[in-house]
Structure 1
């Protein structure tokens, strides 16, 4: 997500606190928030997929290889 969209999310937030939002602005805010949350989830998934864990027997397990094939239900 680019800085322009994040700035717009913040702008809509401040407008909602100051004077309220129109229905179109509320819909835009909801869509931008959904997009932001999806970007955060994808970023977190990418970070978690690169984590290696040393098992008790000394072997190394990559979490991405072990759990990374699961897909998010909301990623449609």
Structure 2
């Protein structure tokens, strides 16, 4: 269940949803509860990594066209070789 191109695998989402539905309908076994927690943690980790990557790629401009990207983001972009200024 690895992500492609930063995307969260659909199989992961489907399994989380399946366990959630079962929990509401009939409850989960102890093993299924552990699996659900593990999958949720994995999902959140992947979501945060993807979100962080997107934010770090942003460049922000004001209405006059001047770049106003926060210095912290610029520094991260420089470290990754995404900026040469």
TM-score when scaled to structure 1?
Answer: 0.71
Which stretches in structure 2 are left out of the alignment for 5+ residues? 1-7, 80-85
User: Displaced runs of 4+ in structure 1, greater than 2 A?
Assistant: 58-69
Aligned residue number for residue 13 of structure 2? 6
Distance 1:3 1:59, change over 3 A: closer
1:40 to 44, 47, 55: 47
Question: How many residues are paired up?
Answer: 67
- Write the distance in 2 (CA, Å) between the matches of 1:67 and 1:40: 19
State how far apart, in whole Å, the 2-side matches of 1:18 and 1:59 are.
52
C-alpha separation in 2, matches of 1:11 and 1:23: 16
- Aligned to 1:53, the other structure's residue is in SS state coil
Instruction: Output the TM-score relative to the length of structure 2.
Output: 0.65
Could you list the runs of 5+ residues in structure 1 that have no partner in the other structure?
A: 70-76
Q: Distance in 1 between matches of 2:67 and 2:13?
A: 42
Pick the structure with more strand per residue: 1
